[in-house]
Structure 1
């Protein structure tokens, strides 16, 4: 499957920003499951490319001159091998057993994980856990904040893909399994879900398996991976800091489509 992606992020500020730094994890990598055919970033200035501690491609954009808005554009085409189920990784999975402030399991999450998994730690059991979590936390935009923790979202009984991933990570890590947060894109016909997406991966029997709680998917057939980390803060596509500017407004527009379908639409 070939996917075409267009991702625009625009920030507008109340006052002029004196300077800013943006950390961009907006560039996918080649792997056995996905092949980057073409990818480009359009930025308001030069960015330094490097690898972060998790091996993600990270661009650091520094703007020293005053500005009252910021526009970031990422686009390209990526081919997904839909036959891949689990993904191997030469890096040790053990660091992903640690918890974070956003993914700490409280008593309720630990009890939930044990109730649905008991002593079992196989993939089929984790799929059942994923499905149970989706029922306990229905998808509901606006029910949480960007800094809501897994425990807070679980207590509210609702959340978005970020909350689903955090809560699932909290459960799985409490069971003693390495698990990591994944940011990326999802090709979906459901317009209610933003194409920019988040899910989780768990290390089982020597490979990483995907668990998309929001959509109830355990195969990453329509998922394009951008970055991985312990939680949202490690893997979010755009994260930055600034001096001045007052309040801000952020607008994101993401379009993900099958390349063959897009070409067919253009011919009509």
Structure 2
């Protein structure tokens, strides 16, 4: 299965920004599940490229002259293997047992994980947990913000894919299972869902298994992975800081299309 992706992001400011630094995790990597055919990230100027602590491709874009907007475009084609359910990894999964401020489990989340998994630590238990969270937390854009924690969104019983993933991570880590946040793209026919997406992966003995809580999917059939981390802040496609600028306006447009393969 081949996917064509174009992700445009424009930041505009009420006043000129003096200096800014953008951290871009917009570059997918080859794995047993996905093969990058071609990929390019267009930026205002050349950026330094490196691997971050989680192995993601990170571009650091520094603009040290006054500017009123930043325009970014990531685009390319990636081939996905829709039949692969597990992704092996030579790196230890143990760092993903750690919690973070966004994924800390309170008493309600601890009780919820125990209620639905009990002593079970297998894939079937985590699928049940995934479905229960999706039922408990209604998909509701605008109900939360970027800094909303897993405990807060769980208590509100509403959120978006980021919140669903954070709540799942909080529950799974409380069971002693390594789990990580995944950012990427989803090919879907549902126009109400932005193609930029987030889901979770949990380590179950032999590798990483995917859990898309928002869509109740335990197989990443049309998911293209960009980056992983402990939470949204580690894996989000674009994150930055600036001096000056006043009010910021961000416009993002993502197109993910299934490419028809000619025999």
- TM-score, length of structure 1 as denominator length: 0.97
- Measured after TM superposition, the shift of residue 211 of structure 1 is 0.3
Aligned residue in 2 for 1:73: 73
How many pairs align? 262
Q: How does 1:171-190 map to 2 (within 5 A)?
A: 171-190=171-190
- Measured after TM superposition, the shift of residue 83 of structure 1 is 1.5
The answer to whether 1:21 aligns with 2:18 is no
Aligned residue in 2 for 1:123: 123
Aligned residue in 2 for 1:266: none
- Measured after TM superposition, the shift of residue 8 of structure 1 is 0.3
3-state SS of 1:221 partner: coil
Runs of 4+ displaced beyond 3 Å? none
- Measured after TM superposition, the shift of residue 41 of structure 1 is 0.8
3-state SS of 1:241 partner: strand
**162-171 vs 252-261, which moves further:** 252-261
User: What is the rounded CA distance, in whole Å, between the counterparts of 1:154 and 1:100 in structure 2?
Assistant: 16
Aligned residue in 1 for 2:252: 252
User: What is the rounded CA distance, in whole Å, between the counterparts of 1:73 and 1:210 in structure 2?
Assistant: 27
The answer to whether 1:152 aligns with 2:166 is no
Aligned residue in 2 for 1:240: 240
What runs of 5+ residues in structure 2 fail to find an aligned partner?
A: none
3-state SS of 1:92 partner: coil
Q: How does 1:9-158 map to 2 (within 5 A)?
A: 9-158=9-158
Q: CA RMSD in A?
A: 0.8
What runs of 5+ residues in structure 1 fail to find an aligned partner?
A: 264-268
User: What is the rounded CA distance, in whole Å, between the counterparts of 1:32 and 1:72 in structure 2?
Assistant: 28
Aligned residue in 1 for 2:201: 201
- Measured after TM superposition, the shift of residue 58 of structure 1 is 0.3
- 1:75-121 deviation per Cα after TM superposition (whole angstroms, max 9, x unaligned): 00000011110100111000000000000000000000000000001
3-state SS of 2:77 partner: strand
Aligned residue in 2 for 1:221: 221
User: What is the rounded CA distance, in whole Å, between the counterparts of 2:235 and 2:145 in structure 1?
Assistant: 17
- 1:12-31 deviation per Cα after TM superposition (whole angstroms, max 9, x unaligned): 10100001000000000000
User: What is the rounded CA distance, in whole Å, between the counterparts of 2:251 and 2:123 in structure 1?
Assistant: 37
